[in-house]
Amino acid sequence: MTDRTRLPTLCVHAGQRKGPAENGLNTPIVTSTAYDYTGGEGVRYPRYLNTPNHQVVAAKIAALEGAEDALVSASGLGSISALLFGLLEPGDHVILLDGLYGGTSDLIDGLLVPWGLRHSTWDGDPGTLAGLIEPRTRLAWVESPTNPLLRVIDLAATAAILNERGVLAAIDNTFATPILQRPLALGFDLVMHSATKYFGGHSDLLCGALAGSAELIDRIRPAAIRLGSSLNGQDLALLERSMKTLALRVERQSASALELARSLAEHAAIAEVYYPGLPEDPGHAIARRQMDGFGGMLGFRLAGDRDPGRFLAALEFIAPAVSLAGVESTICQPSRTSHARVAAAVRERLGIDDRLMRLSVGIESLEDLVEDLGRALGQAG
Ligand SMILES: Cc1ncc(COP(=O)(O)O)c(C=O)c1O
């Protein structure tokens, strides 16, 4: 199990290899796609996920999540695809948390359902979970906190129910990161990341990751290889470098998000704030138990008298942008971005309308963030 006080040290050093000849401190970037196979080290090839830079980043992610092994893919969706195709067979059944990231639902409905997967939707209450388990239920997939409404699921209770019944517990840990939440220690079997987000952290990398036991990662690896969603040496080296500042960035983003959530909750132009760090948030007590901070993402809904378009246009440096978790603050309407492909009726049920904003808090000065939001809210009326 990862000692959480050592997470910043692991961010910098875990997995790293020093330059063999030049005594440099950084891992060398190996750009080769062709490797000599006669030296007895087996066949190396980037798509086989066994190049030196892949191994370094995988070791860092495994160390942070307290996992035996990890796999890095060319996108978060690449990681989810590898996990689902690697562990499931046509006819199998999975349980999906209601309101998953739109791309995950789209992958399942667009590719896995036609392939033969069956699924049930879970409302997130541990009390209703056991009732959804069927003889061929192999896996349950959750997020916590969720995208975009920052709902918190009781991970230890969820894992206990699934473990007892032999159903794999898998979680998209993108929003929390291992700095704030380590699901394997709470009983989960597999953790997935859109490493495009906090791991990359600078809005310039597309990548994904899986972490879990060596046995599960070995079962998933052939699907990851077949799906061909692998990264080259340069991108892996960039990911390794970004991850060295993961703890610093996430701690700062999380602290600023808490302050912003508090100030937005008081603002007349805001109808609702969604942030598990607020004591009145329904997920607060569970989040306090299972997280070491509440994260850098928050949701809020504009009051009826504010115009979403005018609000976004009035922001000076908080950029209206898809994606999240960069060092720069960004904001988006999930109804038009991450959840645009989700059926309108489902969006309505989840409360994802044009007034709902998802703010990804960057590492800028808190004062500037408060000022930018306050000015734009004023001009949106
Ligand atoms: C929570 C979450 N999971 C998964 C993904 C998919 O990751 P990627 O875009 O890296 O494929 C995203 C992307 O926005 C996300 O926000």
pLDDT tens digits along 35-83: 999 988 789 999 999 999 999 999 999 999 999 999 999 999 999 999 9
Using the mean position of ligand 1's atoms as its centre, give its distance from the Cα of residue 104 in Å: 8
Q: Which atom of ligand 1 lies at the shortest distance from residue 174's CA?
A: 1
29: DSSP letter: P
Please name the residue that has the structure tokens 């060596």.
214
CA nearest to 357, candidates 317, 297, 305, 288: 297
Q: Please choose from 141, 149, 174, 323 the residue to mutate so as to test ligand 1's pocket, defined by most ligand atoms within 8 A of CB.
A: 174
Q: In the chain, pLDDT over 90 holds for what percent of residues?
A: 87
Lookup: tokens for 251: 């701690």
Q: Whose CA is nearest to atom 7 of ligand 1?
A: 76
With a 6 A CB cut-off, is 224 part of the ligand 1 pocket? no
With a 6 A CB cut-off, is 174 part of the ligand 1 pocket? yes
pLDDT reported for residue 21:
61
Quick: pLDDT tens for 174-216.
Answer: 999 999 999 999 999 999 999 999 999 999 999 999 999 999 9
pLDDT band at 349 (very low <50, low <70, confident <90, very high): confident
Beta bridge partners of 320: 331
pLDDT band at 17 (very low <50, low <70, confident <90, very high): confident
Find the DSSP H helices in the chain.
Answer: 7-13, 52-65, 76-87, 102-107, 113-115, 126-129, 155-164, 177-180, 214-227, 233-243, 246-265, 284-290, 308-314, 344-350, 366-379
CA nearest to 328, candidates 368, 287, 278: 368
Q: Which atom of ligand 1 lies at the shortest distance from residue 143's CA?
A: 1
Mean pLDDT of 118-135: 98
- Which residue type, as a one-letter code, is found at position 116? G
4-243 CATH fold:
Aspartate Aminotransferase; domain 2 (3.40.640)
Q: Which atom of ligand 1 lies at the shortest distance from residue 77's CA?
A: 11
Using the mean position of ligand 1's atoms as its centre, give its distance from the Cα of residue 209 in Å: 11
CB–CB of 61/112 below 8 Å? no
pLDDT reported for residue 260:
98
pLDDT reported for residue 209:
98
pLDDT band at 20 (very low <50, low <70, confident <90, very high): low
Using the mean position of ligand 1's atoms as its centre, give its distance from the Cα of residue 206 in Å: 9
Output Rg (C-alpha) for the chain, integer angstroms.
21
Q: Whose CA is nearest to atom 6 of ligand 1?
A: 76
Lookup: tokens for 88: 């499931």
Instruction: Check pLDDT > 70 for residue 110.
Output: yes
With a 6 A CB cut-off, is 177 part of the ligand 1 pocket? no
Let me know the angle formed at the C-alpha of 381 by 313 and 365, rounded to the nearest 5 degrees: 55
With a 6 A CB cut-off, is 102 part of the ligand 1 pocket? no
Using the mean position of ligand 1's atoms as its centre, give its distance from the Cα of residue 22 in Å: 38
Mean pLDDT of 21-39: 87
Using the mean position of ligand 1's atoms as its centre, give its distance from the Cα of residue 116 in Å: 24
Q: Whose CA is nearest to atom 9 of ligand 1?
A: 76
With a 6 A CB cut-off, is 172 part of the ligand 1 pocket? yes
Instruction: Check pLDDT > 80 for residue 6.
Output: yes
Lowest mean pLDDT: which of 1-5, 77-81, 292-296? 1-5
CA nearest to 319, candidates 360, 374, 353: 360
The residue ranges of every structural domain in the chain are: 4-243, 246-379
Q: Please choose from 147, 181, 332 the residue to mutate so as to test ligand 1's pocket, defined by most ligand atoms within 8 A of CB.
A: 147
Q: Is the dihedral of CA 316, 180, 120, 98 positive or negative?
A: negative
Using the mean position of ligand 1's atoms as its centre, give its distance from the Cα of residue 323 in Å: 8
Using the mean position of ligand 1's atoms as its centre, give its distance from the Cα of residue 73 in Å: 12
Task: Count the neighbouring beta carbons within 10 Å of the beta carbon of residue 204.
Answer: 11
Q: Please choose from 72, 73, 77 the residue to mutate so as to test ligand 1's pocket, defined by most ligand atoms within 8 A of CB.
A: 77
With a 6 A CB cut-off, is 196 part of the ligand 1 pocket? yes
Mean of per-residue pLDDT scores for the chain: 95
pLDDT reported for residue 65:
98
Q: Which atom of ligand 1 lies at the shortest distance from residue 206's CA?
A: 10
φ, ψ (nearest 5 deg) of residue 131: -65, -15
Residue 353, judged by CB atoms within 10 A of its CB (0-12, 13-18, 19+), counts as middle
pLDDT reported for residue 353:
92
With a 6 A CB cut-off, is 206 part of the ligand 1 pocket? yes
Lookup: tokens for 373: 């939001």
Instruction: Check pLDDT > 90 for residue 22.
Output: no
With a 6 A CB cut-off, is 103 part of the ligand 1 pocket? yes
Instruction: Check pLDDT > 80 for residue 23.
Output: no
CA nearest to 359, candidates 148, 63, 160: 148
Neighbouring residues of 22: CB distance < 8 A, sequence distance ≥ 6:
none
pLDDT reported for residue 19:
65
Mean pLDDT of 343-367: 92
Using the mean position of ligand 1's atoms as its centre, give its distance from the Cα of residue 359 in Å: 15
Helix (H, G, I), strand (E, B) or coil at 139: strand
Mean pLDDT of 283-302: 98
Beta bridge partners of 169: 140
Classify strands 190-194 and 208-212 as parallel, antiparallel or unpaired: antiparallel
- In the CATH scheme, what architecture does the domain 246-379 have? Alpha-Beta Complex (3.90)
Query: What dihedral angle (degrees, nearest 10) is formed by the CA atoms of 192, 185, 253, 196?
Result: -10
Please name the residue that has the structure tokens 């380590």.
182
CB–CB of 80/107 below 8 Å? yes
Using the mean position of ligand 1's atoms as its centre, give its distance from the Cα of residue 48 in Å: 23
Lookup: tokens for 180: 């704030």
